[in-house]
Amino acid sequence: MDRLRCLQIFTEVARCGSFARAAMQLSVSRATITKHVAWLEASMGAQLLKRTSKQVALTEAGARVLDSGRDLLERYEAIEGEVRDAVQLPRGAIRVGTPPSFGAYHLMRVVAQFTHRYPDIEVTVVHDDGRSDLVAEALDLSIRIAPSLEDASYVAQSLLKAPQVVVASPAYLKAYGRPATPADLARHNCLVHIIKSGSGVWKFAGNPPQEVRVRGTVRANMGDAIKQCALLGIGISLHPHYMVSEELKAGTLEALLPGAVPEELDIHVVFSTRRNMPSRVRHLLEFLREWSRHPPDWALPATTAARGTAGR
């Protein structure tokens, strides 16, 4: 039996807390998972997992094996990556976290270009709203978009700026009028993203900076849901420009408050300091840096596309 494969399967079972979920993640049968874990337990001479009808949990011995096993697998991957780099293109699997809208409309284009260059690398993209534990979710990298990052346990590298824009549909503006200043937003129906501005405060750059407490009939933790409400004429919303650039060009949304600049966000790529970075992940990190050196239009400050519709 392949000892490293047994460790890999055991580690995935421990992460998932379930034989069935581990089998799904690794694309193998549950019987294969059970066989490899049983062999590892027999080899170690100890029970590593407590099994119940609903989940599994680590024993004390299992926790020791998990901690040491992760390090062993990472060291082996690093050696394997260095050897492969010397003789062929990198290969293997990468898990990347991303906010859903940015992932769907922008990151996937980068991933498609990356996998075209490195066809032996498999990239799995998963939802991360900025609160995922990279180690627990087995994420090699994650994209985080925020004014600032609070978690100092990760290494963060800045990629791009993400300017924001206040928008509304022509139908809403015809029915309720156009705000002339940020303060006017307080009397409008504003659509609030509860993760990015849970307190309902929208911030604008300036000297001094300006904050406006807004409220409205719809709140959501999904940017696409908020945008759809804006398109339906329900209210005014605040989005990163990358999320609404196409709608602004098409005229289905209009940029508001041309004299006010909403708080800018930073797009970071983060990764755990606890992991030895495999070669394939280093290649993706460098690919993201290369992409960021040529910013798309939506990443440029006060883009023409965002401001050009403000006077419609």
- pTM summary value: 0.67
* 59 contacts: CB under 8 Å, gap ≥ 6: 46, 47, 48, 49, 50
Region of poorest pLDDT, from 10-14, 202-206, 300-304: 300-304
- CATH number attached to the domain at 89-161+266-298: 3.40.190.10
- CATH number attached to the domain at 164-263: 3.40.190.290
With beta carbons less than 8 A apart as the criterion, state whether 13 and 22 touch: yes
Rounded average pLDDT over 198-216: 89
Rounded average pLDDT over 79-83: 72
Q: How many residues does the chain have?
A: 312
pLDDT digits (tens, 9 = 90+) for 165-181: 999 999 999 999 999 99
Largest CA distance in the chain: 74
Instruction: Compute the distance between CA of residue 198 and CA of residue 87 in angstroms, rounded to an integer.
Output: 51
Q: Which CATH architecture has domain 3-85?
A: Orthogonal Bundle (1.10)
Rounded average pLDDT over 145-155: 77
Region of poorest pLDDT, from 152-166, 236-250, 280-294: 152-166
- Residue 146's beta-bridge partner residues? 266
Domain extent listing, the chain: 3-85, 89-161+266-298, 164-263
| Residue with tokens 């998932």, as numbered in its chain | 16
* CATH topology agreement for domains 89-161+266-298 and 164-263: yes
Instruction: Compute the distance between CA of residue 207 and CA of residue 213 in angstroms, rounded to an integer.
Output: 18
Instruction: Compute the distance between CA of residue 126 and CA of residue 75 in angstroms, rounded to an integer.
Output: 25
pLDDT digits (tens, 9 = 90+) for 101-130: 899 889 999 999 999 999 989 999 999 888
* 311 contacts: CB under 8 Å, gap ≥ 6: 258
